[in-house]
Structure 1
Amino acid sequence: MRRPLLSALALTSASVLLTGCFAAAPDGGGTARGQDGRVRVAMMNPPRSGLSPLSDDAFKLSRWSTAETLVVLDAEGDARPALATSWKQHGTSWTFTLRDGVTFHDGTPLTARDVERSLTRAATASPKPRILDGVRLGVRASGRTVTLTTAAPDPLLPQRLSSPQLSVLSARAYRGKTVDPVGTGTGAFRLTRVDGTTSASLDRYDGYWGGRAKAAGIDVTFVPDGTARAAALRTGEADIVEAVPVSQAALLDQDLVTEVPMPRTNTLYLNTRKGPFRDPALRAAARRAIDARPLVEGVYEGRADLAEGLLGPAVTWADGLRPTRTPAPAGDPDGAVITIGTFTDRAELPEVAQALQQQLRAAGFTVRLDVREYAAIEADALAGAFDAFLLSRATVLDSGDPAAYLFSDFSSEGSFNLSQLADPGVDAALRKAADAPAGDTRRRAVMAAEAAVLATDAAVPLLHERVVQGDAAGVVGAAHDPRERLLVTPDTYVK
């Protein structure tokens, strides 16, 4: 009962602050009531890089349907046409044919040279968009086609190009030292105004190649406080609220709350290089001692999915291809001392860590916790300073493909190998998955790689998080996207 009571008090306090958060902008483009046909959106994270598409801010541009990429991903993670209508591979090169009739928000037509400029700027940026980590990309325009060349054959290149960080903008966006997305996209809504980290406004772009949007525009307010975002929905100050905290969702009208499985898994990574968990039998003992059901029902109040593996229900094909595995025999902890690290940035993780501490103590381990902000703990985690590390991790990354996540986290060459795993069998399975062609062959190889990782007990998957989104009663057609790339689409409007 403690959490709902405290949440209700916080929600009341947050409501007092909403008038200031949702005040109209000086030019009339704010989020106040009375603007017919516009959609008011409360978003969690303010821009960090001036809405540059070369940063994580690119996902905001995608969620507002203002900047677009050559391809998009379908529910299975396969590439589908967007600004490009077709593509073909020739060894280390892929040639993309552009869609006719596309114009930028400044009125200029989309050309192959525009695509070359945007993708070259991304490929030579410092730092690069993460989807291009380790990729040497050459871009050459010719007529209505663009040819992209990599150092080695890349079966995943079309999926990579779906990343919002590889959006195509007009020449005007690149006149300064930073990339400016205001009025330079190709989407259904034209970005007209950005007020620092406070708000943004977009108007319908009537020249959109995909047809006229149903809403007249979008008014965005950035509200980092989750209680305030939930209150914005409850008080009618916002039409769409992203990332409603689990602790607040139960306090809202449940008809206004939508939950969608997302490709994000809470996993306990066990240090296989040093400390007690060098012993596979003790890793097996930890895995056997952990019961994630109380975490799902208690900490996440039923708004999460119990993990059967590293890949959850948001990866729609994973469960049907997952092989049966036989658990390794467990040893006796006999008081072995372990330290679990985690961070406070995701509110539920410290509570999950406390529950795991109790379960592992009951199994015979001596357990200490080290909880800090993520910025203060990441370096130690990557260096293997903890016996175990609790992390909420996206499992398909920007390409929509789990192979990149598995390689990053569990390969002996992986850049995010918290388990310090160096297993020849796992490495071989990961290489096979990374090299497999897109489609069923790649999916089966990915699931074989997952099985190889889980057989080592280097990671104990706990649960899969869900996107919890609030839509007011009059909202029609808002996207509920597990990859969090779409939110307001051309079909979204408020009655």
Structure 2
Amino acid sequence: MTTCALTAATLTVLAGCGMSGGGTAAGGGAANGESIVIDEPFAPAANWALETFDAFALTKAGCLETLVKSENGGTLAPMLATSWTRVKPTVWKLELRQGVTFQDGTPLDAKAVTGALQHALKVKTPAAAFSPDVVSGVKAVDSSTVEVTTVKPDVLLPQRLASPNAGILAPKAYSGAAIDPKGTCTGPFEITKEVPQQAIELKRNDSYWGGRPRLASAEVRFIADGGKRATQVRTGEANIARKIPVTSVQELKGDATIRTQSSELPRTTQLILNHKKALFANAKVRQAFQAAIDTKAISDAVYPGASRQAVGPFAPGDPWTPKGAAPVKADPAKAKSLLAEAGVDPSSLKLTLLAYNEGSGFADLASVLQEQLKAIGVKVSIRSGEYASMEPDMLSGDFDMALLSRNYLADLPDPYGFLSQDYSCKGSFNLAHYCDATVDSLIKKAGATAGTEARYALYADIAARLQSQAVRVFLVHETESVALAGVKGYQIHPYYTLTADLSLGSQ
């Protein structure tokens, strides 16, 4: 491990710091082949615990793999499992891919897979995607067959097994006090060095079951500031920078050596109103804030050409978006009237808005919201910082309002995971601290509905209720932009960044 100290301030000179074992510039040739540098916005913060967002950092780094693969568009494909079949209402059987080994040389067999999934069920706070609430047991039928039993009939088990939270590591990974992904993944790249929460270095897994990766090595840096990520691509210190700000996209367009790739994501930026506060427990107050906010002005000014006005939690055109869903029209006069009906004097309100640094455009967005709420007499102060420093307060309900950018197909390639986590009364990511018995019932019903069309209709019903009740103020549907320099084979995906298909060259 390099002894050169890495801080947020020194990440811009990381290549010279020696993390890459010789100061190889981004896109330069390593001793055994091509190497790239990738800038990611979110750092692992839980010692690689797979029940947390750290699992997503591992799949994006090309290390962790799952039994089922989530393709763009929401379809599923084989990964470590070649097939899955529901043999009884609550029993699924999966056939494992033959000839796969973990990076430490041990075989991927039913015993190893069963141990990994059982570990996911036994942790103190299991991930909602794969937890004892939905999975009652996992066992090895034979060396290549795994049986998963659910608590109730669950039509979405394959989607759960595609979640990074259900990733599979070698038995050795679970032997210590913390998860150790070094040498215990099955993916195309193996972690060789780590500076906690700041950077990891990886080398090619020459025994990868999917074929020899094209790149020899890679370095993944975790940089919260989107402007810094874009700068590193512009200065040649990085090849890929994810989630770059709109302003950076415009700045990079004049550089012929850099291209930007944008994709409309299943992602909605929203203003969370904390229902644990008496103020926002009142629906009229929430609707007042909803009416005070001009989402068109936000889309035009903060995310020009990179967003659409939100029509609710889901974007227009999604099969689960209510038919005819439209943005809420800004109406400050209506907002003031609703506050009066609620018996609230806006001049008496002094609220704090949390805006984490990793959020694309959040600094500008927070300022715009501050001015729009000031127009109806509400005083708002802004607290910025890294997401990890704010999440404890958001989870505990110790805040007034907060900005959140949420991918509603991230945890599962189906909205059920998002809705159950964010909007059910006991949801593990219910940051609004919202609870409604009717919505709870609809979410549970959707999770038990096998027919796709019927399930999507239930999602649409839920979305309409969330919008009409102003449970949160849905602001814009996002387009993610990625800056690329000298790299080809990249596709925007919520789970994967560093893949076996990446290589150097123009695209």
Query: Shorter-chain TM-score: which interval?
Result: 0.7 to 0.9
Tell me how far apart the structure 1 counterparts of residues 504 and 308 of structure 2 sit (CA, whole Å): 31
Report matched runs for 1:84-163 at 5 Å: 84-89=81-86, 90-133=88-131, 134-143=133-142, 144-163=144-163
2:3 corresponding residue in structure 1: none
Tell me how far apart the structure 1 counterparts of residues 260 and 457 of structure 2 sit (CA, whole Å): 35
Tell me how far apart the structure 1 counterparts of residues 280 and 172 of structure 2 sit (CA, whole Å): 55
Q: In the alignment, does 2:477 pair up with 1:477?
A: no
Q: In terms of mean alpha carbon deviation, does 98-107 or 17-26 score higher?
A: 17-26
Shift of 1:110: 1.5
Shift of 1:299: 2.4
Q: In terms of mean alpha carbon deviation, does 93-102 or 16-25 score higher?
A: 16-25
Shift of 1:310: 0.8
Shift of 1:308: 1.8
Shift of 1:402: 1.8
Tell me how far apart the structure 2 counterparts of residues 475 and 378 of structure 1 sit (CA, whole Å): 34
2:356 corresponding residue in structure 1: 345
Shift of 1:370: 5.9
CA contact (8 A) 1:339 1:386 kept: no
CA contact (8 A) 1:270 1:277 kept: yes
1:203 corresponding residue in structure 2: 203
CA contact (8 A) 1:23 1:30 kept: no
Question: Do the aligned partners of residues 283 and 68 (structure 1) sit closer, same or farther apart at CA in structure 2, a change above 3 Å counting?
Answer: closer
Report matched runs for 1:249-328 at 5 Å: 249-253=249-253, 256-270=259-273, 280-281=283-284, 283-312=286-315, 316-319=318-321, 322-324=323-325
Task: Determine helix, strand or coil for the equivalent of 1:250.
Answer: helix
Structure 2, unpaired ranges of 5+: 1-7
1:169 corresponding residue in structure 2: 169
Report matched runs for 1:48-59 at 5 Å: 48-59=45-56
CA contact (8 A) 2:17 2:23 kept: no
Tell me how far apart the structure 2 counterparts of residues 55 and 332 of structure 1 sit (CA, whole Å): 39
Cα root mean square deviation, aligned = 3.4
Report matched runs for 1:274-423 at 5 Å: 280-281=283-284, 283-312=286-315, 316-319=318-321, 322-324=323-325, 331-334=337-340, 336-337=345-346, 338=349, 340-346=351-357, 348-349=361-362, 351-362=364-375, 364-369=376-381, 371=383, 373=385, 389-417=402-430, 421-423=434-436
After TM superposition, the score normalised by the length of structure 1 is 0.83
Structure 1, unpaired ranges of 5+: 1-13
Tell me how far apart the structure 1 counterparts of residues 9 and 280 of structure 2 sit (CA, whole Å): 48
2:12 corresponding residue in structure 1: 18
Letter in structure 1 aligned against 2:371: Q
Tell me the alpha carbon deviations over residues 54-97 of structure 1, each in whole angstroms, 9 at most, x when there is no partner.
44222222113222110012334343211111112222221111
Report matched runs for 1:218-233 at 5 Å: 218-233=218-233
Letter in structure 1 aligned against 2:218: I
Shift of 1:446: 0.9
Shift of 1:178: 2.3
Tell me how far apart the structure 2 counterparts of residues 386 and 219 of structure 1 sit (CA, whole Å): 36
CA contact (8 A) 2:48 2:178 kept: no
Question: Do the aligned partners of residues 413 and 200 (structure 1) sit closer, same or farther apart at CA in structure 2, a change above 3 Å counting?
Answer: closer
Choose the corresponding residue for 1:486, options 466, 480, 496: 496
Tell me how far apart the structure 1 counterparts of residues 277 and 9 of structure 2 sit (CA, whole Å): 49
Q: Percent identity?
A: 33
CA contact (8 A) 1:22 1:221 kept: no
CA contact (8 A) 2:130 2:161 kept: no
1:430 corresponding residue in structure 2: 443
Question: Do the aligned partners of residues 64 and 30 (structure 1) sit closer, same or farther apart at CA in structure 2, a change above 3 Å counting?
Answer: farther
Tell me how far apart the structure 1 counterparts of residues 54 and 285 of structure 2 sit (CA, whole Å): 42
Q: In terms of mean alpha carbon deviation, does 65-74 or 23-32 score higher?
A: 23-32
Tell me how far apart the structure 2 counterparts of residues 182 and 437 of structure 1 sit (CA, whole Å): 39
CA contact (8 A) 2:355 2:402 kept: no
After TM superposition, the score normalised by the length of structure 2 is 0.82
Letter in structure 1 aligned against 2:447: A
Tell me how far apart the structure 2 counterparts of residues 173 and 142 of structure 1 sit (CA, whole Å): 23
Task: Determine helix, strand or coil for the equivalent of 2:465.
Answer: helix
Letter in structure 2 aligned against 1:491: D
Q: In terms of mean alpha carbon deviation, does 391-400 or 23-32 score higher?
A: 23-32
Tell me how far apart the structure 1 counterparts of residues 345 and 98 of structure 2 sit (CA, whole Å): 65
Task: Determine helix, strand or coil for the equivalent of 1:232.
Answer: helix
CA contact (8 A) 1:261 1:467 kept: yes
CA contact (8 A) 1:37 1:216 kept: yes
